[in-house]
């Protein structure tokens, strides 16, 4: 798996991460108020050891609607206990079935209401995380967590995005996309993998140069902090020193950049720095309980890696068989993309 440099020196601390789904909890909050009426049924569910697309497909079957009638705001980790919203386009007189049901263990309905519009990707204000780290070893954990809370961390896309051979599969598709017919859903996932890789390459070089968290000449700022490109069509908005770093980081990947542009993806920007909201911690024996919030699209693993060497067991290195990719089950197996 591809890795990128850490912003802070290794702490010498280690812990076991995600030993059970209950060790990693996430609660989603939306960036708008749900009205309570409308043609879209909104369901707030708790899922355990289930991928977001698995739940979406299940809801489509339960309500006997096409998959496009089901919406969600973001992917949540599969090996976790996650609470998130789904919407289903249904008639006003249809009520949700009770959960859990025998064919979908691990799914529980927490709340049902209605809204006028379908839930769309990206409509997340914050994801609130509760993480239990086990078998902790080392010293100075409180100082390190205080450092991360104060300075923020590189806003890398996390290892979930590149798990197994996802990056290699995405590259292979891009090179032969005219010969390989796959669903629009999987095309979108492949593009997101490739754009995430290029973004991390730029941020990684800024980390190596020691200016990932402070503007240099020509930076495009988001909330006062530097940003990096999510690659696609259009010229980079950066200039001067910031543009030189981008060009240097992307020079080995010119063919990949060109292919993404030709595939019709529009260039965007993403913040290089992310701050955890209300980062709190408590230690008991060899366990550390953390709670914090992150904005939509940011990864808890990118925060945790700056504090600890994490043993993630089989969930970090499991490979994805090519047949499953072609069948469109990429996220069904891995959950958070």
Q: Which residues are catalytic?
A: 77
| Cα torsion angle, 56, 57, 62, 67, sign | positive
CA–CA separation, 294 and 164 (whole Å): 25
Q: Which residue has the tokens 């290892």?
A: 159
CA–CA separation, 238 and 40 (whole Å): 41
Residue-by-residue DSSP string for 310-323: EE-GGGTT----HH
CA–CA separation, 14 and 136 (whole Å): 6
Q: How many CB atoms lie within 10 A of CB 95?
A: 9
Q: Left (φ > 0), alpha (ψ -120 to 50) or beta: where does 156 sit?
A: beta
Q: Left (φ > 0), alpha (ψ -120 to 50) or beta: where does 135 sit?
A: left
For the chain, the C-alpha Rg in angstroms (whole number) is 20
């Amino acid at each position: 798996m591809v890795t990128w440099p850490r912003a802070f020196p290794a702490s010498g601390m280690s812990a076991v991460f995600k030993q059970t789904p209950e060790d990693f909890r996430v609660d989603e909050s939306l960036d708008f108020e749900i009205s309570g009426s409308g043609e879209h049924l909104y369901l707030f569910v708790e899922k355990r050891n289930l991928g977001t697309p698995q739940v979406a497909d299940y809801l489509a079957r339960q309500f006997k609607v096409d998959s496009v009638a089901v919406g969600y705001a973001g992917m949540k980790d599969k090996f976790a206990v996650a609470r998130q919203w789904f919407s289903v386009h249904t008639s006003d007189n249809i009520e949700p079935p009770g959960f859990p049901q025998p064919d979908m263990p691990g799914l529980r309905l927490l709340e049902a209401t209605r809204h006028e519009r379908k839930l769309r990707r990206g409509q997340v204000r914050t994801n609130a995380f509760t993480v239990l780290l086990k078998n902790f070893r080392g010293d100075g954990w409180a100082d390190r967590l205080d450092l991360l809370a104060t300075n923020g961390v590189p806003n890398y896309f996390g290892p979930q995005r590149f798990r197994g051979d996802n990056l290699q599969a995405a590259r292979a598709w891009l090179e032969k996309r005219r010969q390989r017919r796959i669903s629009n859903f999987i095309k979108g996932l492949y593009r997101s993998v490739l754009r995430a890789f290029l973004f991390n390459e730029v941020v990684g070089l800024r980390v190596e140069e020691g200016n990932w968290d402070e503007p240099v000449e020509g930076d495009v700022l988001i909330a006062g902090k530097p940003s990096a490109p999510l690659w696609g069509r259009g010229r980079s908005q950066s200039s001067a020193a910031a543009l030189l770093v981008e060009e240097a980081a992307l020079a080995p990947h010119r063919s990949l950049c060109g292919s993404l542009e030709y595939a019709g993806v529009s260039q965007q920007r993403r913040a290089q720095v992310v701050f955890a909201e209300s980062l709190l911690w408590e230690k008991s024996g060899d366990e550390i309980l953390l709670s914090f919030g992150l904005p939509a699209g940011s990864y808890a693993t990118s925060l945790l890696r700056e504090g600890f060497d994490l043993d993630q067991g089989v969930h970090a290195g499991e490979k994805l068989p090519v047949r499953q990719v072609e069948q469109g089950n990429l996220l069904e197996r891995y959950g958070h993309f």
